[in-house]
């Protein structure tokens, strides 16, 4: 065998079950004695009912509900409090049910890798359907079919249901009869969701953070003899060649954290630190260029800058007879809708808990608006490719005035009555000025497709990309990041006018018709009575719009007051991303005589 079964590092083993259950809580195949194996067999014979774990709610799963996953895939696997095994209330319940998923089914014994003697062709068996396995896939040993099934399910966030009671048997012959039970078994057996790559980059190896969740791990290389393995290496920490810290002591590797906590509490802190560093160290690693390009491409694939920064059917809206407030609210709603849709397409969105997702949207949509509009204007606006002039100040004022006039035209149409430039300048002059300034800055630094990273890894991606794209411009990254505070300040400086919605007409008919563009407009100044001097209620409107949008997106309240997002129907909106691969010429069924092997391997019958 080529895989090792790492000692469980789960901390979620409820102490209660350990003391109340007469049989061993988690039969660990790596340390299974013959006695316990025999007991398992006895249990198997005595219990005729098929074990049927807790139901799997796939909608919640895709919404980020990790409590349904085995413990080693949950974040709070590291959330051990050093003080005697106390867990926070909600996670205790969640992990109590999850831990039942980690109990391997009896047939799992067949795959226990401890069989030292026969290193060769014992035909591998799929842990899902018992078909012939082809290797490690997403963390466990599976056949090609179950591998593909798991990949397709995760990539497309598919939701299955079982017409029976969720206990269908999965075999090679029956595996296609119930997708729900097949996928549930995949989860129960420990297939790792995160091993399905969001950027679809083929080849290579998964990050250490993902690899650490694998139930089975491949051996480094079976170069050394079986005997050499017993003398030196073994029990090595999970494949961290550059790990600056000493290896985790074997007694920590081979035991659970829980056990450590009970017997040697002071060690837990160290072990936890080690595990955390093992996870986070993958974050600090430089991102290879290929991967960086893929991640950037994945971001570009879901780019919605133009969509968010422009408004469709503007003429219809302008000539609509409904009330001005309604019109602006509709525009605002559509922007919020597009922004929410965009965030849900982001490759890393599944890693962000729903509550945080909502909070970010609520708190940051202004800045996203500013950034989006300014960047779009700088890249695609009228002056995007204008030659740089000598008089920056003059240009700037010109642009501010142009934007104000544009805004005036638009609002006049929207309201059906004129508004003076002076009044406009009084109300939104500062906003327009700020927006214009940011646009100018972006234009000056020739913002193109570089995107600011929300997460550290995207900063790394950016750095890696810039190192190759602009090797002679080492300050580029700083230059880009230096703009962020301006974006942040743009709306906060405005004071009462916090919630403004940048709009812009699409190019083409709209622009011709209006003879101008619409860079910005303000909902608050018109949603209330601007002359009344009362503070505008824009913020309230925005929150309403966000909430309405979330309702439309079928946000539901899950257990424990958790906000959950139903992402069904999200995928079809985005065309599935595909990479082109050069495929070998596929000839009819039977394989004709292969040409002389000039390929890299003898079993390849192509050039």
Partner DNA sequence: ATAGCCTTGAAG
Partner DNA sequence: CTTCAAGGCTAT
CA distance 77 to 12: 7
Give min distance, CB of 272 to Zn ion, in A.
36
Q: Kind of pairing, strands 135-137 and 217-218?
A: unpaired
Residue 162's binding partner among Zn ion, DNA, none (Cβ under 5 to 8 angstroms by kind) is Zn ion
Among 124, 126, 210, 336, binds Zn ion (CB under 5 A): 126
Could you say which DSSP state residue 581 is in? -
Residue 239's binding partner among Zn ion, DNA, none (Cβ under 5 to 8 angstroms by kind) is DNA
Give min distance, CB of 564 to DNA, in A.
24
Could you give the 3-state DSSP secondary structure of residue 20?
helix
Could you give the 3-state DSSP secondary structure of residue 557?
strand
Among 131, 333, 427, 433, binds DNA (CB under 7 A): 131
**Does 137 sit near DNA (CB under 7 A)?**
yes
CA distance 426 to 605: 75
Give min distance, CB of 147 to DNA, in A.
7
**Stretch in the footprint of DNA (CB under 7 A) among 53-61, 252-260, 287-295, 421-429:** 287-295
Give min distance, CB of 182 to DNA, in A.
7
**Does 466 sit near DNA (CB under 7 A)?**
no
Other Cβ atoms less than 10 A from the Cβ of 100: the count is 15
Residue 580's binding partner among Zn ion, DNA, none (Cβ under 5 to 8 angstroms by kind) is DNA
Residue 126's binding partner among Zn ion, DNA, none (Cβ under 5 to 8 angstroms by kind) is Zn ion
φ/ψ (deg, to 5) at 361: -60, -45
Residue 221's binding partner among DNA, Zn ion, none (Cβ under 5 to 8 angstroms by kind) is DNA
Residues 168 to 197: which contact Zn ion by CB under 5 A? 168, 178, 181
Of 412, 394, 415, 358, residue with least CA distance to 564: 358
Could you say which DSSP state residue 474 is in? T
**Does 290 sit near DNA (CB under 7 A)?**
yes
Tokens of 37: 């194996």
Residues 153 to 182: which contact DNA by CB under 7 A? 155, 175-176, 179
Which is closer to Zn ion, CB of 181 or CB of 308? 181
Residue 483's binding partner among DNA, Zn ion, none (Cβ under 5 to 8 angstroms by kind) is none
Query: Quick check: 163 and 204 in contact, CB under 8 A?
Result: no
Other Cβ atoms less than 10 A from the Cβ of 488: the count is 15
Could you say which DSSP state residue 564 is in? E
Strand locations in 198-326, DSSP E?
217-218
Residue 605's binding partner among Zn ion, DNA, none (Cβ under 5 to 8 angstroms by kind) is DNA
Give min distance, CB of 179 to Zn ion, in A.
8
* Cα→Cα distances 190→105, 185, 258, 341, 420, Å: 12, 8, 20, 31, 66
Instruction: For the chain, give the longest Cα–Cα distance.
Output: 90
Give min distance, CB of 213 to DNA, in A.
10
φ/ψ (deg, to 5) at 523: -75, -45
Residues that bind DNA (CB under 7 A): 2, 131, 135-139, 143-146, 148-149, 151-152, 155, 175-176, 179, 195-197, 200-206, 214, 218, 220-223, 239, 241, 288, 290-291, 577-584, 586, 589, 600-601, 604-606
Residues that bind Zn ion (CB under 5 A): 126, 128-129, 131, 143, 146, 162, 164, 168, 178, 181
């Amino acid at each position: 065998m080529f895989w090792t079964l790492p000692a469980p590092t789960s901390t979620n083993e409820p102490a209660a079950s350990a003391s109340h259950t007469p049989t061993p809580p988690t039969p660990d195949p790596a340390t299974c004695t013959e006695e316990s194996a025999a007991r398992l067999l006895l249990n198997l014979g005595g219990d005729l009912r098929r074990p049927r774990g807790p139901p799997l709610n796939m909608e919640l799963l895709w919404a980020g509900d990790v409590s349904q996953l085995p413990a080693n895939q949950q974040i709070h696997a590291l959330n051990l409090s050093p003080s005697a095994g106390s867990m926070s209330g909600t996670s205790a319940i969640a992990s109590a049910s999850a831990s039942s998923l980690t109990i391997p089914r009896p047939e799992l014994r067949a795959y226990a890798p401890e069989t030292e003697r026969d290193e060769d062709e014992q035909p591998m068996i799929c842990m899902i359907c018992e078909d012939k396995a082809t290797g490690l896939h997403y963390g466990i040993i599976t056949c090609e079919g179950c591998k593909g099934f798991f990949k397709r399910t995760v990539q497309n966030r598919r939701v299955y249901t079982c017409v029976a009671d969720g206990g269908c048997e999965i075999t090679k012959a029956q595996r296609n009869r119930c997708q729900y039970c097949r996928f549930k078994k995949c989860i129960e057996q420990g297939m790792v969701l995160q091993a399905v790559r969001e950027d679809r980059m083929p080849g290579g190896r998964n990050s250490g953070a993902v690899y650490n969740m694998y139930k089975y791990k491949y051996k480094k290389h079976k170069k050394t003899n079986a005997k050499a393995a017993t003398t030196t290496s073994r029990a090595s920490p999970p494949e961290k060649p550059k790990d600056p810290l000493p290896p985790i002591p074997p007694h920590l590797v081979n035991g659970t954290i829980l056990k450590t906590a009970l017997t040697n509490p002071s060690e837990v802190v160290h072990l936890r630190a080690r595990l955390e560093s093992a996870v986070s160290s993958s974050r600090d690693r430089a991102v290879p260029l290929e991967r960086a390009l893929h991640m950037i491409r994945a971001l570009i694939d879901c780019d919605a800058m133009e969509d968010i920064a422009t408004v469709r059917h503007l003429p219809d809206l302008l000539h609509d007879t409904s009330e001005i407030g309604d019109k602006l609210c509709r525009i605002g709603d559509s922007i919020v809708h597009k922004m929410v849709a965009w965030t849900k397409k982001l490759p890393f969105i599944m890693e962000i808990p729903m509550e945080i997702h909502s909070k970010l949207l609520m708190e940051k949509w202004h800045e996203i608006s500013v950034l989006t509009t300014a960047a779009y204007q700088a890249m695609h606006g009228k002056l995007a490719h204008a030659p740089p002039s000598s008089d920056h100040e003059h240009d700037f004022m010109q642009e501010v005035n142009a934007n104000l006039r544009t805004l005036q035209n638009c609002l006049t149409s929207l309201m059906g009555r004129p508004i003076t430039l002076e009044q406009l300048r009084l109300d939104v002059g500062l906003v327009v000025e700020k927006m214009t300034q940011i646009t100018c800055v972006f234009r000056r630094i020739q913002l193109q497709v570089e995107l600011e990273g929300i997460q550290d890894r995207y900063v790394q991606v950016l750095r890696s990309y810039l190192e190759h794209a602009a090797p002679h411009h080492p300050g580029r990254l700083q230059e880009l990041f230096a703009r962020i505070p301006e974006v942040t300040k743009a709306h906060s400086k405005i004071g009462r006018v916090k919630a403004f919605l940048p709009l812009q007409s699409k190019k083409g008919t709209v622009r011709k018709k209006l003879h101008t563009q619409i860079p910005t407009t303000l909902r608050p100044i018109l949603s209330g009575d601007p002359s009344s001097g009362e503070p505008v209620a824009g913020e309230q409107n925005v929150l309403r719009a966000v909430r309405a949008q979330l309702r439309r997106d079928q946000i539901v309240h899950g257990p424990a007051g958790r906000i959950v997002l139903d992402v069904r129907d999200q995928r079809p909106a985005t065309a599935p991303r595909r990479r082109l691969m050069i495929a070998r010429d596929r000839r009819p069924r039977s394989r004709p005589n292969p040409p002389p092997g000039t390929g890299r391997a003898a079993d390849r019958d192509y050039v």
